[in-house]
Amino acid sequence: MWRFNYIVYTVITFALSFANSEYTYETKWFTVPLDHFSFQRNETFKIKYLVNDTYWDRSRGPIFFYTGNEGQIEQFAKYTGFIWENAEEFKAKIVFAEHRYYGGSMPFGNKSLDNEHIGYLTAAQALADYADLVDYLQGGAQKPHYPVIAFGGSYGGMLAAYFRMKYPHLVTGAIAASAPVHMFTGMVPCDVFDRIVTSSFSFAGDKKNCSANIKASWKVLRNFITSKNNTDWLKTEWRLCDAVNTTNIKSLIDYLKDMYTNMAMVNYPYESSFLMPLPANPVRSACQFLNKELEGTDLLKEYTGDIAVGKVLEMYTNYDKNNKCVDFKSDNYGNLDASGWDYQACTEMVMPMCTNETDMFEASTWNFSSYSEDCHKKYNVFPRPDAARIQYGGDRLQAATNIVFSNGLLDPWAGGGILNSVSPSTIAVIIINTAHHLDLMPSNKNDPKTVRMTRNIHKQQINKWIREFWK
């Protein structure tokens, strides 16, 4: 999942998992209409999907269907261990479907993201692709042969839930992990995301020094650049690729903000390297460098001790000792090629974000007009802030059935998650001590008990849905 930083177009990345597991599958292609919703254009193109039917009981085994999100599908296959680890027990066929406009599923090749061609990138089109694919996997039969369980994490989790809601005749049930289906206009306060990041850093340090130091660092950094004019010092000390000046300081601040946010999201109990190599419990590790009372430029780099923001930046960018300079002006997509996400955020997926002055980032307001202007400049589109609520129901999900919404409370995206069960068959699972969709990742010996319990709940629900399917 990605935060849209308007004004400067950088995005934050979300991470998946870091086990060394290498899963194997066949790569296939499936032809879909360019536009499911009109009959004016009849072009088609191919989306990629990955299949493993080694464990599949062809007479009645379920189809485990991952609704791909913003990135190449191989990444999601690699890091969604839950599906692989349970396919044998369920005798399931495994399918990972790639979202249009990501990875290799490009309708117009390398021109797909040009403004002229990007218009067919919507969640609704992607869901319609998945629906066609499921129908094909069922052999186009009027009465489906196999139960289909949708899975997804983050935006993929939203898609899994929406897939069940929109196509209940095709999808038997959905595991929607860390799916911020409430992160839309009018549903949650716009500061909820940064509030969770802040509390994560507050509780990881002694006496809240960690978040207090981060909060104090912004002004120091700005003053340092504008008044001291010592741009080369920071470049050297922080190993930046470029000197910082009043023109690009916004990029550096966004980069640092994304750094803290990413660490909060991937605050996993084991060493990780999906996005960038990070130690176990990265927030706590970062806070070790910010745990005493610091002032002034000591916040940026303290000569005597192993502390300060510069040290956190080093941990974040150089944990594997590659010693590359920090390219703070670049889009930080990590290993996921998520370039299309900003367009989605500018159309259907408008997630208002702001920062309360009580939180550790610089205060900011949500200004839809300027957001909209930026989207128009960049893509020649105007966002529809109510589209997701109207299309998918937002917080009116009472009519939905057979969905598990799981959320780890350390995850900033949990602020937009479903935290209370909606009905006996659309349930919320709260995992108090985990970050972004840890429950779907390959199991690890450091997983907390809560996440193991969550995986058992997923399995119970899937079993129940499959039993009902056969009734």
Ligand X SMILES: *[C@@H]1O[C@H](CO)[C@@H](O)[C@H](O)[C@H]1NC(C)=O
Whether the CB-CB separation of 46 and 30 falls below 8 Å is answered with yes
386 contributes a contact to ligand X by CB under 6 A? no
Identity of the amino acid at 5: N
Q: Which of 40, 110, 142, 323 binds ligand X (CB under 6 A)?
A: 110
Strands (E), 301-449: 403-408, 426-431
84 versus 255: smaller Cβ distance to ligand X: 84
**Interacting residue with ligand X among 248, 291, 339, 433 (CB under 6 A):** 248
Does residue 35 bind ligand X (CB under 6 A)? Answer: no
Query: Nearest approach, Cβ of 95 to ligand X (angstroms)?
Result: 12
Centroid of chain to Cα 33:
27
Three-class DSSP category at 67: strand
Q: Which of 468, 448, 406, 453 is nearest to 168 (CA)?
A: 468
Task: Determine if 424 is a binding residue for ligand X (CB under 6 A).
Answer: no
Point out the catalytic residue in the list 17, 154, 200, 372.
Answer: 154
**Binding piece for ligand X, criterion CB under 6 A, among 146-154, 160-168, 214-222, 364-372:** 364-372
Nearest to 397 by CA among 415, 419, 423: 423
**Catalytic residue at 182?**
no
> How many C-beta neighbours within 10 Å does residue 15 have?
28
Based on the shown chain and the rule CB under 6 A, indicate whether residue 84 belongs to the binding site for ligand X. yes
β-bridge pairing 403-408 and 173-177: parallel
Query: Angle at Cα 370 formed by Cα 368 and Cα 373, nearest 5°?
Result: 110
Selection from 132, 137, 127 nearest residue 164 by Cα:
127
Give yes or no for residue 304 binding ligand X (CB under 6 A). Answer: no
Which residue in the list 99, 436, 437, 458 is annotated as catalytic? 436
- Minimum distance from residue 400 beta carbon to ligand X (Å): 30
Question: Number of residues in contact with ligand X, rule: CB under 6 A?
Answer: 24
Does position 439 bind ligand X by CB under 6 A? no
Q: Are 385 and 369 in contact, with CB atoms under 8 Å apart?
A: no
* Residue in 38, 39, 40, 109 binding ligand X, rule: CB under 6 A: 109
66 is a contact residue toward ligand X (CB under 6 A): no
Q: Which of 20, 247, 304, 420 binds ligand X (CB under 6 A)?
A: 247
248: three-class secondary structure by DSSP:
coil
**CA 50, chain centre distance (Å):** 21
The neighbouring-strand residues paired with 127 are none
List C-alpha distances in Å: 61 to 55, 89, 93, 181, 295: 9, 10, 7, 30, 62
Q: Which of 124, 187, 212, 243 is the binder for ligand X (CB under 6 A)?
A: 243
Of 69-77, 138-146, 367-375, 450-458: span binding ligand X (CB under 6 A): 367-375
The residue from 20, 142, 369, 420 that contacts ligand X (CB under 6 A) is 369
- Rounded to a whole number of angstroms, the minimum distance from the CB of residue 301 to ligand X is 20
Distance CA 81, CA 407 (A): 17
Q: Contacting ligand X (CB under 6 A), which of 31, 236, 370, 460?
A: 370
Q: Dihedrals φ, ψ of 51, to 5°?
A: -130, 140
Parallel, antiparallel, or unpaired for β 26-33 and 44-52? antiparallel
Per-residue binding letters, 344-363, with ligand X (x by CB under 6 A): ------------x-x-----
Query: What is the Cα Rg of the chain in Å?
Result: 22
Query: For residues 139 and 240, what is the distance between their CA atoms, to the nearest angstrom?
Result: 55
Region of residue 317 (phi > 0: left; psi between -120 and 50: alpha; otherwise: beta): alpha
Between 117 and 292, whose beta carbon lies closer to ligand X?
Answer: 117
Piece of 21-29, 120-128, 291-299, 447-455 that binds ligand X (CB under 6 A) = 21-29
Q: Is 367 in the site for ligand X (CB under 6 A)?
A: yes
* Residue in 54, 380, 456, 463 binding ligand X, rule: CB under 6 A: 54
* Site stretch for ligand X (CB under 6 A), options 20-28, 59-67, 250-258, 443-451: 20-28
Catalytic residue among 411, 439, 447, 458: 411
Q: Is 52 in the site for ligand X (CB under 6 A)?
A: yes
Per-residue binder mask for ligand X (CB under 6 A), 156-195, x = binder: -----------------------------------x----
User: Which of these ranges, 59-67, 70-78, 210-218, 244-252, lies near ligand X under the rule CB under 6 A?
Assistant: 244-252
Give the Cα separation of 286 and 144 in Å (integer).
Answer: 51
Residue number, 146 or 392, with CB nearest to ligand X: 146
What angle, 0 to 180 degrees and rounded to 10, lies between the N-to-C axes of helices 192-204 and 249-265? 70
Instruction: List b or e across 89-101, with b for residues whose CB sees 16 or more CB atoms inside 10 angstroms.
Output: ebebbbbbbbbbb
Which one of the spans 70-78, 238-246, 258-266, 454-462 is the region binding ligand X (CB under 6 A)?
Answer: 238-246
Assigned token pair, 171: 């999808």
Whether 436 is a known active-site residue: answer yes
**Piece of the chain touching ligand X by CB under 6 A; list 17-25, 199-207, 261-269, 422-430:** 17-25
Dig out the tokens for 141 from the structure. Answer: 């039969």
Interaction between residue 230 and ligand X (CB under 6 A): no
Which residues here bind ligand X, judged by CB under 6 A? 23-26, 42, 52, 54, 84, 109-110, 191, 229, 242-243, 245-248, 356, 358, 367, 369-370, 373
Positions annotated as catalytic residues are 154, 411, 436
